[in-house]
Structure formats: structure tokens, C-alpha cells
């Protein structure tokens, strides 16, 4: 290891006695990150690609693969249809133009950054939209150049399908590659220095160094409350020395937000370093799920919670619900009739059971279900169904195990009271009780309740004899609300049919 680099991690790097004393007191906490940094970044023993270089490599690789796939799609089509590919140079140039349009748009949108590649769902959505935009522009260019007169239409269709499939698969592959590369150290994350008070510094540095989400810890510098201006000066000096010898991408300040003077002094002192300065959230925001910097009019705010669905999202979800629910009702009409007859022959009573539930924005509605019990509870006290419950009928037991008792709720979907996917609605009596016991329980009503949901397909359904079971269900419901997308709804619907967890605790 070069002497200069070794000296970087010694407390005696500068002969100033005051700095030596301060550094000795705080050297132990940073020793582990020093060793990681020394062995990984300075020694050169391990080959890794940086977070800044990876996007360029990904763009070039994506262009080459897409060009090859698009060109081969047209070549294969012509060989199968006509026996040969006319004008290989022209088709190769056209494939290159289409691929270039796509990757340039993705590069301008920073789709290949480490941060965005860690979100596979967003990557699929982006790749789909950008490919269709690039393809439409490319076809328009062919038309304007009058190339469509001799450019095979079958080849155009083949190139679209092959290119789209390749783009989506490449994004999934890149997402997995980045995740593996960050966790294994093959891809270096953003080089990060954390400065702050010990109480906030330790847990934050621990999360950053172990998260595998794009941060490579260079150093941790503690500034305790008793250090005052001297501690700030020493922290700035140490950070500057590090930044002069190693490029630093991010500097995170971990201080209570009430220490505004310390934060301001550090921000001003770090202005000479070409790095992004971040302020970590303090303990006052520990209970906030996803704080985001936003604006209301011309005023900056910290968004603590967002409306779950935009107007556009509501329209997309509603159109999907009505279309699918209508198709399912038409397809399942013979089955519904057979179930109704079986219920009527099994025990006396109505075929459908209607119960009061709380829906969107706490509005009360009547949910439809096939009757599966000998009782029709809908009062202030409702006894939950238990395993081997004597109230469940013979037909009802089969319906509950197969989830067929929920099918009539398709009518609730068409009426607008429910959605196909969402937090399951609970009886009004249970709803009132859980709201008093579980924090953020009422937030489940920020979207329409669903026939199935993220909690149910993960096995959180059935009897909630202890409060912890309902808490886990609520956690999954809130995750669904915060991460809604149409693709997520489709995934949950498929899991409802195919996943064994969906039928767990169904009794």
C-alpha cells in the first residue's frame, strides 16, 4: 500500500495536536469502514466498476444487444419467407437507427443509473413506453423516407416484437446484475462520507454499508455535541483531505435538525468539495414512511404522505376493474347459478349474505357474499369464523376453501363500492375496534377495498385472534397503497389464483 494512502487512515496525518486528540477519540468507529475502503478502493486487489461508469457500459451493451436482436429478427423473417435477406446493409442500418433511438431516450432519462436499475418494476414500465415511442418515431421516419415501399411489413412487425422482448429482458437482467454486483462488491456504489453525531451516525452508517443499494462507505466522521466549533473544523479538514485524494460522490450529514447552525457551517465549509451534500432524516421523522421534498405553489415542503392514487390512476384502475369484473361475471354465470342452487338445497336461508363494511373514505356499503354460515351476523358484535366452526355449512366450507364465496363481490366492483384488488374490507364492528388499536389502520380506506389484496396472497387472512396478525395484514395493505400500479394489480390477481398462500387459513 502506498505511503500516502496509508497515512490517510492514520490519526497522525497532520501534526496538529488538537486534531490528533480529536481524531484519536473517534478513530475506533471508523476503523472498519477504513479497512473496507483501503482494501477495496486503494489496494487495487479487487476489480470493480464504479457507479458512474456502469451506466455508460449498460447503454453500450444494451445498444449492441438490441441491434443484434432487431437485425436478426428481420433476417430470420426474410430467410423463412423468401429464402434470403435483401440489402443486409440497409436493414442493419435501420436496426441500428431504431436501437439508437431507444437507448438515447433511455440515457437522457437516466434509466441506466444504479438507483433506477434497482427498481425492476419501474424499469419494465419505462422500457415498454420508451420502446413504443422509439418504434413509432422510427416507422414514421421510414414512411417519410419512402422506405416502406420496399421495407418488408412482416419484418417491421418481427422487429417490434423481438426488440420489445429483448428490451424488457435486458432491463430485468440489468436489474439483477446491479443487485448482485452491489452486494458482491463487483459494482462500486456512490463513494460516501457520513458526518454526524454518534447517536445518528452509527445506525445510518450501518444501514448504508450493509444495504447493498448503491452506497460505498469511505469514512465516518463523528462530531459530538461537546466538540463545538472545534469539532466542525476538524471534520471539515478531514473530509477535505479525503476528497482531495479520492473522488467523493455523496456526503451525508447526520445531525438532529434542531442543530441548524452546525448543519449550516458544514454545508458552507463543504462547498469547496464537488460532491452532493445530503441531510439525513433525524429521529423526529422515524415514524414517516416515505418523506419526499415537494412544493406547494412556490413553497418547498417535506411531503410526509401522498394521496394514494392520482386522477389518472383512478381512471386506469376503474376501467380495468369494470372490464375484468364484467368479463368474469359473464364467464362465471353458469357456475354462480350452480352454487346458488347448491346453497339453497343445503340449508334454509338466502343465497347471498349482505354485511355492512367500510369502504373508500370510510363510506359504509353492503358487501355481497355467498352465504356460507347458518347465521347472518351484522350487529355491534360479530364473531369471526374459526377452524372447524360449527356455523359453517357443508357447501359453505367448500366455498370458503376455494374462495368462491367472494365471487358475488364482482357486483360490488361494478357498482363502484369495491375494486378487484385492494385492502380487504372488514365488518363495521371489527373496523371500529381495530382503528383504536392499530396506528394508521384507517389509512387502509384511502383506496377502495378489494376482493383480494396483497395481504391475502401472502397468507394474511382468516381469523385474527391476536392483534399481531391484524398488524401484519395492515402493513401489507399499506405497502400496496404506497406501491400501487396496474402491473401490481395483475400480479396479485394471478397470485390469488395460483399461489398456495392465497388459500392458507381459508376456513
Q: What is the mean pLDDT of residues 493-505?
A: 80
pLDDT digits (tens, 9 = 90+) for 222-276: 887 667 778 888 888 888 888 888 888 888 888 888 888 888 888 888 888 888 8
Q: Which helix (H) or strand (E) holds 448?
A: none
Q: What CATH number does the domain containing 255 carry?
A: 3.40.1360
Question: Does 340 score more than 70 pLDDT?
Answer: yes
Indicate whether 173 and 104 sit together in one domain: yes
In a domain, 424, yes or no: yes
User: In the listed set 131, 162, 184, which residue is the last one of a domain according to the structure?
Assistant: 184
User: Which pLDDT band, with edges at 50, 70 and 90, does 28 fall under?
Assistant: very low
444 located within any domain: yes
* Of the listed ranges 246-250, 300-304, 368-372, 458-462, the one predicted with least confidence: 300-304
State how far the Cα of 35 lies from the Cα of 29, in Å rounded to an integer.
11
pLDDT in tens, 464-479: 667 888 888 888 998 8
Q: Does the pLDDT at position 43 exceed 50?
A: no
Contacts 24+ apart (CB under 8 A), 199-208: 200/254, 200/255, 200/256, 200/280, 200/282, 200/283, 201/29, 201/254, 202/29, 204/252, 204/254, 204/280, 205/33, 208/252
Interatomic CA distance for residues 92 and 255, integer angstroms: 57
Reduced to 3 states (helix: H, G, I; strand: E, B; else coil), residue 302 is strand
Q: Are residues 226 and 147 in the same domain?
A: no
Q: Is the pLDDT of residue 19 over 60?
A: no
pLDDT for residue 131: 92
- Which parts of 394-485 fold into alpha helices (H)? 394-402, 409-415, 428-437, 454-457, 467-482
Does one domain contain both 16 and 88?
no
Q: By three-state DSSP, how is residue 356 classified? A: strand
Q: Which of 166, 184, 202 is at the close of a domain?
A: 184
pLDDT digits (tens, 9 = 90+) for 289-305: 667 777 787 777 777 76
Q: How far apart are CA 154 and CA 73, in angstroms?
A: 10
Domain annotation covers residue 257? yes
In a domain, 301, yes or no: no
103 falls within a domain = yes
Q: Which of 58-62, 91-95, 146-150, 387-391 has the lowest mean pLDDT?
A: 146-150
Say which residue, 310 or 322, is predicted with more confidence: 322
pLDDT band at 25 (very low <50, low <70, confident <90, very high): very low
pTM (global) more than 0.85: no
Q: Do 344 and 440 fall into the same domain?
A: yes
Whether 311 and 486 have beta carbons less than 8 Å apart is answered as no
Residues 354 and 460 in one domain: yes
Confidence (pLDDT) at 3:
41
Contacts of 495 (CB under 8 A, 6+ apart): 457, 501, 502
Q: pLDDT category, 378, cuts 50, 70, 90?
A: low
Whether 137 and 212 share a structural domain: no
Q: Which residue has the higher pLDDT, 386 or 255?
A: 255
Comparison of pLDDT for 435 and 18, the residue scoring more: 435
Check whether residue 198 and residue 178 sit in a common domain.
no
Residue 15 counted as domain residue: yes
Q: How many domains does the chain have?
A: 3
- Range of 465's domain? 311-503
Q: What is the CA radius of gyration of the chain?
A: 30
* 278 has pLDDT over 90: no
- Mean of pLDDT values over 316-327: 93
Task: Label residues 56-84 b or e (16+ Cβ within 10 Å = b).
Answer: eebbeebbebbbebbbbbbbebbeeeeee
Residue 8 pLDDT grade (very low, low, confident, very high; cuts 50, 70, 90): very low
**347, part of any domain:** yes
Residues 159 and 19 in one domain: no
Judgement on whether residues 160 and 68 belong to the same structural domain of the protein: yes
Question: Is residue 38 pLDDT above 60, yes or no?
Answer: no
Indicate if 351 and 434 belong to the same structural domain: yes
Average the pLDDT over each of 65-69, 133-137, 370-374 and give the range with the smallest value. 370-374
Mean pLDDT of the chain: 79
| Residue 370 φ/ψ, nearest 5 degrees | -70, 140
- Check whether residue 495 and residue 347 sit in a common domain: yes
Best-predicted range by mean pLDDT (46-50, 159-163, 201-205, 411-415): 411-415
pLDDT tens track for 65-106: 999 999 998 888 888 887 777 778 888 888 999 999 999 999
Domain membership flag for residue 296 = no
Per-residue pLDDT at 29 exceeds 50: no
Which of these three, 163, 184, 205, is where a domain ends? 184
Residues 169 and 196 in one domain: no
pLDDT (0 to 100) of residue 37:
40
Confidence class for position 170, pLDDT limits 50, 70, 90: very high
Amino acid at each position: 500500500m502506498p505511503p500516502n494512502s496509508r497515512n490517510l487512515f492514520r490519526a497522525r496525518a497532520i501534526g496538529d495536536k488538537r486534531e490528533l486528540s480529536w481524531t484519536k477519540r473517534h478513530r475506533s468507529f471508523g476503523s472498519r469502514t477504513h479497512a473496507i475502503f483501503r482494501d477495496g478502493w486503494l489496494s487495487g486487489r479487487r476489480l470493480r466498476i464504479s457507479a458512474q461508469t456502469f451506466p455508460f457500459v449498460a447503454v453500450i451493451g444494451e445498444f449492441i444487444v438490441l441491434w443484434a436482436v432487431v437485425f436478426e429478427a428481420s433476417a430470420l423473417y426474410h430467410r423463412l419467407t423468401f429464402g434470403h435477406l435483401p440489402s443486409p446493409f440497409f436493414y442493419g442500418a435501420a436496426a441500428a437507427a431504431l436501437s439508437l433511438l431507444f437507448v438515447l431516450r433511455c440515457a437522457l432519462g437516466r434509466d441506466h443509473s444504479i438507483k433506477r436499475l434497482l427498481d425492476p418494476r419501474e424499469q419494465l414500465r419505462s422500457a415498454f413506453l420508451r420502446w413504443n415511442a422509439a418504434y413509432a418515431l422510427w416507422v414514421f421516419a421510414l414512411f417519410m423516407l419512402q422506405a416502406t415501399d420496399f421495407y418488408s411489413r412482416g419484418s417491421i412487425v418481427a422487429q417490434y416484437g423481438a426488440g420489445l422482448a429483448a428490451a424488457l429482458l435486458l432491463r430485468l437482467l440489468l436489474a439483477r446484475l446491479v443487485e448482485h454486483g452491489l452486494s458482491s462488491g463487483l459494482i462500486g456504489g456512490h463513494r460516501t462520507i457520513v458526518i454526524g453525531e454518534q447517536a445518528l451516525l452509527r445506525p445510518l452508517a450501518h444501514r448504508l454499508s450493509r444495504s447493498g443499494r448503491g452506497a460505498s462507505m469511505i469514512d465516518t466522521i463523528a462530531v459530538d455535541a461537546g466538540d463545538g466549533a472545534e469539532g466542525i473544523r476538524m471534520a471539515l479538514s478531514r473530509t477535505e483531505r479525503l476528497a482531495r485524494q479520492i473522488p467523493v460522490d455523496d456526503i451525508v450529514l447526520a445531525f438532529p435538525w434542531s442543530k441548524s447552525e452546525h448543519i449550516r457551517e458544514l454545508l458552507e465549509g463543504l462547498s469547496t468539495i464537488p460532491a452532493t451534500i445530503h441531510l439525513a432524516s433525524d429521529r423526529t421523522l422515524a415514524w414517516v414512511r416515505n418523506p419526499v421534498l415537494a412544493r406547494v405553489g412556490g413553497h418547498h415542503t417535506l411531503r410526509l404522505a401522498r394521496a394514494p392514487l392520482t386522477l389518472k390512476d383512478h381512471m386506469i384502475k376503474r376501467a380495468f376493474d369494470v372490464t375484468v369484473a364484467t368479463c368474469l361475471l359473464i364467464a362465471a354465470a353458469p357456475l354462480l347459478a350452480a352454487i346458488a342452487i347448491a346453497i339453497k338445497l343445503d340449508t334454509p336461508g338466502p343465497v347471498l349474505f349482505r354485511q355492512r363494511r367500510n369502504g373508500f373514505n370510510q363510506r359504509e356499503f353492503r358487501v355481497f357474499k355467498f352465504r356460507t354460515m347458518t347465521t347472518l351476523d351484522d350487529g355491534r358484535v360479530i364473531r369471526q369464523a374459526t377452524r372447524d366452526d360449527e356455523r359453517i355449512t357443508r357447501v359453505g366450507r367448500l366455498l370458503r376453501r376455494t374462495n368462491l364465496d367472494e365471487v358475488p363481490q364482482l357486483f360490488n366492483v361494478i357498482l363502484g363500492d369495491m375494486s378487484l384488488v385492494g385492502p380487504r374490507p372488514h365488518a363495521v364492528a371489527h373496523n371500529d375496534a381495530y382503528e383504536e388499536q392499530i396506528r394508521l389502520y384507517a389509512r387502509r380506506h384511502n383506496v377502495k377495498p378489494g376482493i383480494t389484496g396483497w395481504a391475502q396472497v401472502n397468507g394474511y387472512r382468516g381469523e385474527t385472534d391476536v392483534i399481531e396478525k391484524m398488524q401484519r395484514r395492515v402493513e401489507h395493505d399499506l405497502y400496496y397503497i404506497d406501491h400501487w400500479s396496474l402491473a401490481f394489480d395483475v400480479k396479485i390477481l394471478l397470485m390469488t389464483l395460483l399461489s398456495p398462500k392465497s388459500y392458507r387459513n381459508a376456513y
